[in-house]
Structures are given as structure tokens and as C-alpha cells.
Amino acid sequence: MKTALPVFGVLFVIACVLILGGCGSYNRLNGLKQGVDKSWADVQNVYQRRADLIPNVVKTVEGAANFEKSTLTQVVEARQQVNNIKLDPTSAPSDPAALERFQKMQDGLSSALSRLLVVSEKYPDLKATAAFRDLQVQLEGTENRISVERGRFNDAVVAYNTAVTSMPARLYAGAFGFSPKPYFSAREGADTPPEVKFDFNSPAPAAAPK
């Protein structure tokens, strides 16, 4: 009995250390995960703001005479594809393939919008309308905001993933249900948002002689 008491004492101390370490690791990982989820919600919000602007863009551009319908159709179809991708807006995805599909659809919409606005340069009357100018400014601001929020999301994921895979938290992470999160990757072919800024002060092209 006298020999067993020190052994039980050592085991008790070890158990206390493990419990306290587990509680500390859980609290830290949970706090970092909440940061990732908040950043994910911010990303979703700016993407939703862009999607909400598109019907007004389409309506405004449709009014331009002889506007290239194929370009407009690409934007409408890209927006529909984005709407078909459903991810939890309150919890960042853990599946890299799911985030990759989401990013691919969103980047496709960015490209379609960029092409539409570049084509719009050929329509001086369209560029001169207050509605189009306002939408262009809002889209430019939203694209920049998307880039910022994606960067913040990646920063939050870096901090979270580092904690999940570092000692001693990695000893408890799996048991508590914490696993690494995927990142946004750079957009294919570019590392900046699409350029949608126009020089509205430039003279309109001369009309073709009749």
C-alpha cells in the first residue's frame, strides 16, 4: 500500500497535467477556429454583394443598342453556376475539393464580369450613363474587397492550421474534432483582382462616316 500511494500520486499529477493541457489546447483551437469561421463569413458576404449587383448590371447593359449578347450571357450563366454552389456560410469548409469548386465558380464569374466591362468600353453612350458608372465603381470596390477578405481568410487559416499541427495541441486536436482547413489559392493566371477601371474622361471615338 505504501508503495502504491506514490504511484497513484504520480498518475494523479500526470492526469491533471493532461486535463489542464487539453483544456488549454481546446480553448486556443476553438478561438482560432472561430476566427477562421468569421473570416469565411466575411468572404461569403462580399461574394454575395457582388452577386446582388449583377442583375442591375445586366439590366443596365441590356439597354445598350447592339450590345454583344454572348458576353452578357456568359455573366448570367456564371452567376447561376455560383448560385448552385452551396456551402455553409457560418463554418469554413474542411474539404479542399469543396473549396476548390467554390473558388473555381467565383473566379469564373470574376472573369466573365471583367470581359463584360472591357467590352462595354466600345459603347460610349453606355459608359456615359450615371447608372453604369455607379455600378462600375461598386463592382471595382467589391472585387478589391473580395481580394482583401480572401487574404484575411488565408491568414486566419494559417494561424489555425499551425496550431492544429503543433505540439502539444496536435495531441488533442483530433479527439476534439479540429482538423486543418484548406486555403484559397491564387487565381489562375493572375494574382490581382480583375481590372475594371475605365477612363471616363477620355474622348469618345469618332463616329464612322456614313
Report the alpha-carbon angle 15-20-25, nearest 5.
Answer: 125
pTM of the model: 0.78
The number of beta carbons lying within 10 Å of the beta carbon of residue 183 is 16
Pick the CATH number of 25-176 from 1.20.1440.20, 3.40.50.300, 3.30.70.20, 1.10.10.10: 1.20.1440.20
pLDDT in tens, 66-86: 788 888 999 999 999 999 988
- Which whole number is the average pLDDT over 33-39? 95
> Is the Cβ–Cβ distance between 71 and 116 less than 8 Å?
yes
Read off the C-alpha cell for 165.
499541427
The contacts of residue 102 (CB under 8 Å, 6+ apart) are 85, 87, 93
Q: What is the mean pLDDT of residues 142-155?
A: 95
Quick one: average pLDDT of 138-165? 94
Residue type, 123: Y
Q: What is the pLDDT of residue 208?
A: 39
* Domain segments of the chain as ranges: 25-176
